[in-house]
Structure 1
């Protein structure tokens, strides 16, 4: 439609801007510093959630509800304290999810492609993994030692790089099941095995996400008829249940959304939910049997809250990243909106006075937001000020590289008006042809609310984050607020 949505404010009135700024100023000046111990901690991670992604998602979400969009804030953008984290790996200037996961979950920067190991171990070095000397643990381990309950929630496979960094030590992020390891040479424990039998993994109380195939044999089919991926014939789901029960836990395995929603929290203290053989589907393509990120997050918090010592929960919106890799900006923005919804769900059910919530990202992407479009223009459409110098329109969102490259003849850009840009799987234009778009190397935002959230402001290395969380919650071997 040609009629632009209305802003909920009179933006042409100078009083609007003055009142708004004064209100922000007062809320900052009058906000007391919370220096209590953080009994509970939730670390939310938007995988690949660059600052550009946040700005575009505000507009995407706002326009859904009839606003211009630019003036709105995502749930966590209202948090009082923000910082910027530097994301590079020890060996690469642009991070992947494995080295960055190791940084923000264990406090140690690592090499690209490695999980839970210091940079003394190069990618693929199984001997370095087995040696154990270079293994690093972090928040999950420290919280368990302090008697807290722990949980992992993700929309990717639960053995994927980000969640794996919380419990595993792997010289290659791809070693998710035994069949992913090289056929010859040393044998290293795969990531799924470490989740079920590892010292930290086996003590996690709640695990929700995808990746069921990495837990069962190739010869078996799972509850939904999909083949497993393991070569060793093991059924790690049965092993997980056996381990939990022998530890005296009341444990349950679930694989369907209904089971999650109907789960009686009072009855169990350990739950494994594997809702898909691979990554969970994108929200825009999910079926009735697929739980949303906020449904999984809410149930995890309720299960973990029963512990009087508190809990540590890691929640990942992992498919923001996979959508960007495919240059499918529509899906990436929608996954970011879903992620913001999960943060909102958490805020509704925790005590903000004793719960520290940190929201961040592991790395950026190459999507840019450009042109001089009128307010309220479709963020997923063409810029509406003028065509490019070749006479063709261009899109507000585009990528520096990726599969959205069009095969252009004689230096002429392809005419995107001939394509269905409203399609869910439309690939947004890329400058450089490459089958998977790459990450970006700039800093990512960190948002914090709750006890000691003020120590997350400023610009710092990504590996500072878990040290600050441990300080606030009195866990881990470093300096903590209990000694402060």
Structure 2
């Protein structure tokens, strides 16, 4: 059953239950509890929310399993717009809907700045929410003592930091990583790598002069943490193949050292006594018999995986990868830690392609919903958050149900030209003014999949935003995630709930 149907059914049941009690109290039931013009609609809705919060028990069990979902660039504005996007696809207004994780009982706000920048990138923020230490922009798995590009600082080692992936492995839990970007991209890299520059994904990316650092792909296969990850699913295959080799789908590799890291991964796992499987297409993933393997590497695209709206069916969806990862990891009696990234929300925003960004957010919500259905809610902590915001705004005074991706339906701007409900503070969607007038958007096909939404400031790639991001949590100790806190607090709270790491845990007495 689809997310929006579930929410409507649940709400209908709530209204019926509370409405029946209203019959006894008021002697007359409301005529239509779904009518927003009916005061009982809002009163009963608010009363149910209140009751659910008052009666919700605190789960203080140890979190056997942890799933951390990260919507890259998933700002609060993106969430609000995606609700409308989903609802309008199904003939509803949309604003009244909730995404799968928005029904989680506990919500907080995380502050995302880097040590050196007021607006975060995915590298420093990834280091914060995966290791518990804030870092400099562009660096992965290193303290702020290392500046971007400082290879010697990376090699030195004493500034390296580890986090949830390492702590879970030390607790003999299974670990997994799922992403729609390259598995060596900044966000997933923060789970296992230490790199002075997020761009050093393959050896070809390293500086030609000076000391040679281990690239991120190499660290995934040979590193102490990366080599122990049980499930890795995503894109970025070319970073694992040498330039003189063609991968299974006919694409050339990118590495300059002549090493085939995909083959090396298989050999290394077998030497550890494991039963590994390497995949590169959706069909093999869906048909995989999880009981026959204990290690899984899936590299489904040479670069980032395609946007959902452009996929041709040869690549698995985020939901499909998440399901398979949970199936694999759930075999461990000690539990697991799984990190799942919806990474193409971010890349779409950078291109100011709001349609793609909202659709990727909807796909992300589906993956969360799938995970919730598969795990035991009493023993699994699920946290959903973002690494940073974007500059997309949601403005105007349009009537309910107005196409979220279209024009506002109120008065035009003071220059008598229309404007879209969604726009960006900066980015490639900027178009020069003509005769002191804005570009007339009526001349554009705003319904096109690759329409770049208007931007105030011209820049090749739209930037991130600096405001706080939302955090949603359910399961053991999920009440720890309320309030406003630094982003690096997240892994400490997760570790407390799961009794992993070297800090305070729920298994210790204060």
Give TM class, smaller chain. Answer: over 0.9
Indicate which of 14, 17, 42 corresponds to 1:17: 42
Q: Which residue of 2 aligns with 1:38?
A: 63
1:409 maps onto 2:437 in alignment:
no
The match for 1:190 is 215
Cα offset, 1:411, TM superposition: 2.3
> How far apart in 1 are the matches of 2:435 and 2:166?
58
* Aligned pairs (5 A) from 1:126-275: 126-275=151-300
Q: CA RMSD in A?
A: 1.0
Task: Check if 1:361 corresponds to 2:370.
Answer: no
Contact (CA 8 Å) 2:33, 2:40: kept in 1 or not? no
Listed one character per residue, the Cα deviations across residues 70-96 of structure 1 (whole Å, up to 9, x for unaligned) are 000000000000000000000000000
What's the counterpart of residue 100 of structure 1?
125
Alignment partner of 2:451: what SS? coil
Aligned length: 479
Contact 1:208 1:273 in 2 (8 A): yes
**Does residue 1:90 correspond to 2:115, yes or no?**
yes
Q: How does 1:359-398 map to 2 (within 5 A)?
A: 359-398=384-423
My pick for the range that moved more, 406-415 or 192-201, is 406-415
| TM-aligned CA deviation for residue 231 of structure 1 | 0.2
Cα deviation for residue 410 of structure 1 reads: 3.1
TM-superposed deviation, 1:126: 0.1
Equivalent of 1:428 in 453, 457, 462 = 453
C-alpha contact (below 8 Å) 2:33/2:41 kept by paired residues:
no
2:499 and 2:260 map into 1 onto residues whose CA distance is 37
Q: Any idea what SS the aligned residue of 2:68 has?
A: strand
Structure 1 position 409, deviation (Å): 2.0
Unaligned regions of 5+ residues in structure 1, if any?
Answer: 1-5
Shift of 1:307: 0.1
1:8/1:67 contact within 8 Å kept: no
Q: Using a 3 Å threshold, how does the CA distance of structure 1 residues 433 and 293 change in structure 2: closer, same or farther? A: same
TM value normalised by structure 2: 0.93
Equivalent position to 2:505, from 473, 480, 484: 480
Say if 1:378 and 1:217 are closer, same or farther in 2 by CA, change over 3 A.
Answer: same
Deviations 1:189-243 (A, max 9, x none): 0000000000000000000000000001011110011010000000000110011
Write the distance in 2 (CA, Å) between the matches of 1:16 and 1:473.
40
Q: Structure 2: 5+ residue runs without aligned partners?
A: 1-7, 9-31
Q: Which residue of 2 aligns with 1:336?
A: 361
Instruction: Give me the whole-angstrom Cα distance separating, in 1, the residues matched to 2:64 and 2:79.
Output: 29
Q: Is the 8 A contact 2:431 2:439 kept in 1?
A: yes
SS at match of 1:345: helix
Distance in 1, Cα, partners of 2:72 & 2:53: 29
Report if aligned partners of 1:220, 1:228 keep a CA contact under 8 Å in 2: yes
From the CA coordinates, give the structure whose radius of gyration is larger. Answer: 2
Q: Distance in 2 between matches of 1:264 and 1:287?
A: 24
1:62 matched to 2:87? The reply is yes
Please report the TM-score for the alignment, with normalisation by the length of structure 1.
0.98
Please state whether the residue corresponding to 1:217 is helix, strand or coil. coil
Aligned twin of 2:96: 71
Cα distance in 1 for residues equivalent to 2:123 and 2:460:
20
CA contact (8 A) 1:152 1:315 kept: yes
1:458 CA displacement: 0.3
Counterpart-to-counterpart distance in 2, 1:163 and 1:385: 43
* Counterpart among 264, 284, 289 of residue 314 in structure 2: 289
CA shift, 1:442, in A, is 0.3
